[in-house]
Amino acid sequence: MSILLTRRFFAFGAATLLFAAPGTRAFAQTSGADAFVKTFATDLVAIVNGPEPAAQKKAALGPVIDRDVDVSGVARFCLGRFWATATPAQRSDYTTLFGRVLLNQISGHLGDYRGVSYTLTGDTPQGSNTLVGTTITRPNQPPINVQWVVDGSSPTPKIVDVIAEGTSMRITQRSDYGSYLSQHGDSIDALIAALHRQLDNQS
């Protein structure tokens, strides 16, 4: 790969794993969104650091992600303009697969985030969303700035994106899917088949 890739560039590599990353250390402020992210992180850390085997941790992770992450909203965002043309059955299949791929990607790297700690660095309102800033620190690794995008428009707040060093998880994912679709004749069935293959490879 490129020799020009900077350290920041691959902060994203960690981004999809960061749902599993945080450990509590200090909290600068406690807004509603901060408190929400704190609760989410505390639950995740309990799972990550628990003594259970990997399969059990994955089983415990699912409900926490379902509770605090707007998986169907993120899935819809990632399909971009193709959501409008998808049939109800395709939407349903795709959303289910998306959730399973996301959970696999997170649970497959739980071990990489031992000894992690984080600090909250403040909130930035952005429309109906709030960006909750954190600095993630891992042993012997440079710190990573991560923003959690929390949608507060619904009665229960939900995480809709993770932005690591300026790279957004959902924008990157949408670019990946959009490009795959355009390379495969805009066929949503081809995308669904590819997600099935991805799940098979991960299991």
Partner 1 sequence: MRHATCHQPPARRALAAAAIAAGALSLSACATKPPATDADATQEYEQTNDPLEPTNRFFYRVNDTLDRTTLKPLAEGYVFVVPSPVRTGVHNVLANLSSPVLFADDVSQANPSHAGDTFMRFVINSTAGGAGIFDVAKSLGYPAHDTNFGITLGLWGVPSGPYLYLPFIGPSSPRAILGRGADTVIDPFTWVPRGYGLLTLNWARYGVGVVDTRADYLSDIEHVKASALDPYATFRSLYRQNIQSQVDAAKHAAASPASGPAAQPNQ
Would you list the DSSP string of 76-120? HHHHGGGTTTS-HHHHHHHHHHHHHHHHHHHHTTGGGGTT-EEEE
Q: 1 to 20, contacts with partner 1 by CB under 8 A?
A: 1-14, 16
Contact call for residue 166 and partner 1 (CB under 8 A): yes
Binding residue (CB under 8 A) for partner 1 from 50, 183, 187, 199:
183
Q: At 86, list the tokens.
A: 């998808």
- Tell me the three state secondary structure of residue 193: helix
Least distance to partner 1, CB of residue 23, Å: 21
Smallest CA-to-CA distance from 144 within 112, 167, 123, 161 is with 167
Binding residue (CB under 8 A) for partner 1 from 49, 73, 77, 80:
80
Smallest CA-to-CA distance from 47 within 64, 35, 25, 30 is with 64
Residue with Cβ nearer partner 1 (87 or 124): 124
Contact call for residue 98 and partner 1 (CB under 8 A): no
Binding residue (CB under 8 A) for partner 1 from 135, 171, 189, 196:
171
Helices 32-48, 54-68: crossing angle, 10 deg rounding: 170
For residue 15, which amino acid is it?
A: A
Decide: 184 and 191 in contact? Cβ < 8 Å: yes
Strand partners, 147: 133, 163
Binding residue (CB under 8 A) for partner 1 from 25, 67, 81, 114:
81
Least distance to partner 1, CB of residue 3, Å: 5
Q: 29 to 48, contacts with partner 1 by CB under 8 A?
A: none
Contact call for residue 168 and partner 1 (CB under 8 A): yes
The footprint of partner 1 (CB under 8 A) covers 1-14, 16, 80-81, 105, 109, 165-168, 171-172, 175-180, 182-183, 191, 194-195, 198, 201
